[in-house]
Amino acid sequence: QKEVEQDPGPLSVPEGAIVSLNCTYSNSAFQYFMWYRQYSRKGPELLMYTYSSGNKEDGRFTAQVDKSSKYISLFIRDSQPSDSATYLCAIHKGRNDMRFGAGTRLTVKP
């Protein structure tokens, strides 16, 4: 079993739609959860960061962690064509050990 599982998609939505991206993880001891965004032919960039359980909101983006289910989600409201990218969930296993999901490729159509 992989430490973090993510449906690779691809996912295609119309502009303005609400997007839901999800990952599951294997170890309940993990406490730091991130979402990275990767545009084509670029390196990943940190989008959202959550510690432990609960929600975190930043503009149109909401990150959610459910530790009881070992499930993490990213919601994008009012999606824009500029949101078209690959979204990678990531977990911090320990101090400097980061592991990534497979990434979900999102296309937002005008």
Partner 1 sequence: EAGVVQSPRYKIIEKKQPVAFWCNPISGHNTLYWYRQNLGQGPELLIRYENEEAVDDSQLPKDRFSAERLKGVDSTLKIQPAELGDSAVYLCASSRGKVGGELFFGEGSRLTVL
Stretch that binds partner 1, among 13-21, 60-68, 75-83, 99-107 (CB under 8 A): 99-107
Structure tokens at 89: 């969930």
Give buried/exposed letters for 48-79 (b at 16+ CB in 10 A, else e).
bebeeeeeeeeeebbbbbebeebebbbbbeeb
Of the residues 45, 57, 58, 78, which one makes contact with partner 1 according to CB under 8 A: 45
88 binds partner 1 per the rule CB under 8 A = yes
Question: Given phi > 0 = left and psi -120 to 50 = alpha, else beta, which region is 26?
Answer: alpha
101 binds partner 1 per the rule CB under 8 A = yes
21 binds partner 1 per the rule CB under 8 A = no
Residues near partner 1 (CB under 8 A) are: 6, 8, 31-32, 34, 41-46, 49, 51, 88, 92, 95-103, 105
